[in-house]
Structure 1
Amino acid sequence: MNWVDFSGNAYLVAFALYCFAFMFYVIAIAGSKWSNRESKTHTKKWGRIAFTVSSVGLGAQLVYFFTRWYGSGQIPTSNMYEFMSFLSMAIMIAFTIIYAIYRKPILGMFATPLTVIIVAYASVFPKDVQPLIPSLNSYWLKIHVTTAALGEAFFAVGFAAGLMYLLRVVDYTRKDAKARKEQRWIEFTMYVIVVVVGFIAIVFSFRGAGYEAHFTQENVSVDSAGQTNTTQEEVTYSLPPIFKPYNSEVVSMDSFLGMNKPLLETPSWMNGINAGRKLNTVIWSIIAGSILYGLLRLIFRKPLGAVISPHMDGVNPNDLDEISYRAIAIGFPVFTLGALIFAMIWAQEAWGRFWGWDPKEVWALITWLYYSVYLHFRLSRGWQGHRSAWLAVIGFVIVWFTLIGVNLIIAGLHSYAGV
Structure 2
Amino acid sequence: MNWLEFSSSSLGVAFFLYVFATIFYMVAIAGKKWGKKDPKLHEARWGKIAFITSTLGLVAHLLFFFTRWIGSGQIPTSNMYEFITLLGMTIMIAYTIIYFIYKKLLLGMFALPLAIIVIAYASVFPSDVQPLVPALQSHWLKIHVTTAALGEAFFAVGFAAALMYLLRTIDFKDKTKNGKRAQRWLEFTLISILVVIGFIIAAFGFKGAGYTASFQQENASVSQLGEISTTTETVEYTMPPIFKPYNSEAIEVTPFLGMTDGLFETPSWFNGVNSGRKLNTVVWSIIVGLLLYGIIRVIIRKPLGAAIHPALEGIDPDDLDEISYRAIVIGFPIFTLGGLIFAMIWAEEAWGRFWGWDPKEVWALITWLYYSAYLHFRLSRGWQGKPSAWLAVIGFVIVLFTLVGVNLLIAGMHSYAGVE
Structure 1 residues 32 and 129, CA gap change in structure 2 (3 angstroms): same
Quick check: 1:272–1:410 contact (8 Å CA) kept in 2? Answer: no
Within 1, Cα distance between the matches of 2:221 and 2:364?
Answer: 27
Could you tell me which residue of structure 1 aligns to residue 85 of structure 2?
Answer: 85
**Displacement of 1:172:** 1.2
Secondary structure of 1:416's partner? coil
For 1:173, the equivalent position in structure 2 comes to 173
**In structure 2, what is the equivalent of residue 120 of structure 1?**
120
Work out whether residues 270 and 408 of structure 1, in 8 Å CA contact, stay in contact via their aligned partners in 2. no
Deviation, structure 1 residue 222: 7.0
Q: CA RMSD in A?
A: 1.8
Deviates more, 1:124-133 or 1:398-407: 398-407
Q: Distance in 2 between matches of 1:115 and 1:223?
A: 48
1:410 maps to 410
Distance 1:64 1:228, change over 3 A: farther
What are the Cα deviations for residues 161-184 of structure 1, in whole angstroms up to 9, with x where unaligned? 000001111111221111111111
**Counterpart amino acid of 1:175?**
K
Matched with 2:187 is 187
Secondary structure, counterpart of 1:215 in structure 2:
strand
1:321 maps to a residue whose letter is D
User: What is the rounded CA distance, in whole Å, between the counterparts of 2:104 and 2:298 in structure 1?
Assistant: 32
Cα distance, 1:322–1:135 mapped onto 2, change above 3 Å: same
Alpha-carbon distance, 1:193 to partner: 0.8
- State the one-letter code of the partner of 2:82: E
Q: Higher mean Cα deviation, 54-63 or 266-275? A: 266-275
Match of 2:18 in 1: 18
Please, which moves more after superposition, 366-375 or 198-207?
A: 198-207
Contact 2:233/2:273, CA 8 A, preserved across alignment: no
Letter in 1 for 2:343: A
The letter for the 1-side match of 2:106 is: I
- The CA deviation string for residues 126-159 of structure 1, in whole angstroms up to 9 with x for no partner, is 1111111111111111111111111110000000
SS at match of 1:255: coil
* 1:385 CA displacement: 0.5
Deviations 1:343-397 (A, max 9, x none): 1111111111111111111111100000000001111111110111000000001
Mapped partners of 1:219, 1:136: distance in 2:
31
Shift, 1:274, TM fit? 3.2
2:364 equivalent to 1:364:
yes
- Matched with 1:276 is 276
1:255 Cα deviation from its structure 2 partner = 0.1
- Structure 2, unaligned stretches of length 5 or more? none
* Equivalent residue runs for 1:68-107 within 5 Å: 68-107=68-107
- 1:355 match: 355
Shift in CA distance, 221/40, structure 1 to aligned 2, threshold 3 Å = farther
SS at match of 1:157: helix
What code does the residue aligned with 2:90 have? A
Name the CA distance, whole Å, in 2 between partners of 1:335 and 1:224: 43
Q: Report the CA distance between 1:339 and its aligned residue.
A: 0.8
Residues 388 and 224 from structure 1, CA distance in 2 versus in 1: closer, same or farther, beyond 3 angstroms? farther
Question: What do the CA deviations read for 1:306-326 (whole angstroms, capped 9, x no partner)?
Answer: 010001011111110000000
Q: After superposing the two structures, state which structure 1 stretch, 82-91 or 192-201, moved more.
A: 192-201
Aligned equivalents of 1:221 and 1:133: distance in 2? 28
Report the CA distance shift for 1:327/1:226 in structure 2 as closer, same or farther (over 3 A): farther
CA contact under 8 A between 1:272 and 1:409: conserved in structure 2?
A: no
How far apart, CA to CA, are the structure 2 residues paired with 1:207 and 1:261? 19
- What are the Cα deviations for residues 52-105 of structure 1, in whole angstroms up to 9, with x where unaligned? 000000000111111111111111111111111000001000000000100000
Partner of 2:402, secondary structure, is: helix
2:358, 2:139 → 1: CA distance? 21
Q: 1:360–1:208: structure 2 CA closer, same or farther, 3 Å change rule?
A: same
TM-score (norm 2): 0.96
The one-character-per-residue Cα deviations of 1:18-56 (angstroms, maximum 9, x if unpaired) are 000110111111232134343322221111111100000
Equivalent runs, 1:317-336 vs 2, <5 Å = 317-336=317-336
1:387 aligned partner: 387
Answer with 55-64 or 406-415: which moved more.
Answer: 406-415
| Conservation of the 8 A alpha-carbon contact between 1:273 and 1:411 | no
For residue 196 of structure 2, what is the amino acid of its counterpart?
V
Figure out how many residues of one structure are paired with residues of the other and give that number.
419
Unpaired stretches in structure 1, ≥5 consecutive residues: none
Compared with structure 1, are the counterparts of its residues 144 and 219 closer, same or farther at alpha carbon in structure 2 (3 Å cutoff)?
A: farther
Alpha-carbon distance between aligned partners in 1 of 2:226 and 2:364, rounded to the nearest angstrom: 32
SS in 2 for 1:383: coil
Mapped partners of 1:271, 1:35: distance in 2? 59
Distance 1:129 1:220, change over 3 A: farther
SS of 1:257 mapped into structure 2: coil
User: TM-score under structure 1 normalisation?
Assistant: 0.96
Task: Go from structure 1 to structure 2 and tell me whether the alpha carbon gap of 1:299 and 1:349 turns closer, same or farther (over 3 Å shift).
Answer: same
Greater mean alpha carbon deviation, residues 271-280 or residues 2-11: 271-280
- The answer to whether the 8 A contact 1:273-1:415 is kept is no
Residues in 2 aligned to 1:273 and 1:369: alpha-carbon distance in whole angstroms: 33
| Residues 318 and 261 (structure 1), Cα distance of their counterparts in 2 relative to 1, 3 Å cut | same
1:273/1:408 contact within 8 Å kept = no
Cα drift, residue 220 of structure 1: 5.4
One-letter amino acid of the counterpart of residue 256, structure 1: F
Distance 1:284-1:100 versus aligned 2 partners, 3 A rule: same
In structure 2, relative to structure 1, the CA distance for the partners of 1:277 and 1:37 (3 Å cut) is: farther
Change in 2 beyond 3 A, CA 1:167/1:362:
same
The change in CA–CA distance for 1:167 and 1:65 in structure 2 (over 3 A counts) is same
Query: How many percent of aligned residue pairs carry the same amino acid?
Result: 68
